């Protein structure tokens, strides 16, 4: 398979797949926020399928290149989609809906990819591309639902958490990215995330 080993074809396919998955993920955050009454993301040009509107030079370009070369997988983040909690319907629950929209869009993309695979040769080049796209979106779905700030799962948990846990999450958020990156480098997520990914893949058609 082309994905075995680090080669230029694999890198190109991976980058394109990541961009498609990321753009739709971020677009859905902005779209749901807009539908819930907050125009902040729309006003800042984030209600868009243009990748350039969602790219952060360091987190979306430099970091994934470094992590692909060093570890064989991309670790990246888009520019956070802004929203104004005071303008979102349903308060914290509306904010949770905005957060959940991104990972759920990745699950839908993985479902579509799984359906496409049923009608093609999985060993062909196109089949491998679709399979990689499915795996990538399942990974993004599972990873983004980790309840560590600033990941989407933390915002979903926040809406239902008691005040003490909400306060802890607020204090944790400035350090959240470094905690997540450190856990990834140390392999702290490997077993749990891989098992969750496999469970989702098994459910898909």
Q: In the chain, what is the straight-line distance between the N-terminal and C-terminal CA atoms, in Å? A: 22
Q: Which two three-digit tokens encode residue 92?
A: 């914290």
Residue matched to tokens 């868009």: 48
Residue matched to tokens 């902005």: 30
Whether 173 sits among the annotated catalytic residues: the reply is no
Contact 36, 29 (CB under 8 A): no
Could you say which of 26, 134, 163, 173 is catalytic? 26
Of 57, 49, 44, 47, the C-alpha closest to 22 is 49
Contact 138, 106 (CB under 8 A): yes
Tell me which long-range contacts 125-130 makes (C-beta under 8 A, separation of at least 24).
125/2, 128/1, 128/2, 128/3, 129/13, 129/17
Contact 65, 59 (CB under 8 A): no
Residue positions annotated with a catalytic role: 26
């Amino acid at each position: 398979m082309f994905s075995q080993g680090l080669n230029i074809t694999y890198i190109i396919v991976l980058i394109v797949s990541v961009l498609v998955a990321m753009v739709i993920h971020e677009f859905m955050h902005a779209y749901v926020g807009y539908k819930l009454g907050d125009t902040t993301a729309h006003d800042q040009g984030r209600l868009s399928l243009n990748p350039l509107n969602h790219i952060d030079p360091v987190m979306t370009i430099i970091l994934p290149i470094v992590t692909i070369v060093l570890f064989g997988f991309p670790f990246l983040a888009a520019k956070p989609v802004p929203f104004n909690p005071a303008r979102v319907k349903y308060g914290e629950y509306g904010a949770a809906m905005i957060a959940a929209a991104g990972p759920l869009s990745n699950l839908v993309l993985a479902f579509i990819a799984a359906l496409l695979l049923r009608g093609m040769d999985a060993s062909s080049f196109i089949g491998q591309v679709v399979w990689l796209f499915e795996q990538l979106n399942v990974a993004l779905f599972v990873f983004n639902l980790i309840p560590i700030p600033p990941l989407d799962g933390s915002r979903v948990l926040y809406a239902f958490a008691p005040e003490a846990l909400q306060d802890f999450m607020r204090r944790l958020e400035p350090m959240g990215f470094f905690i997540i990156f450190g856990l990834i480098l140390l392999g702290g997520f490997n077993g749990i995330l891989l098992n969750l990914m496999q469970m989702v893949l098994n459910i898909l058609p």
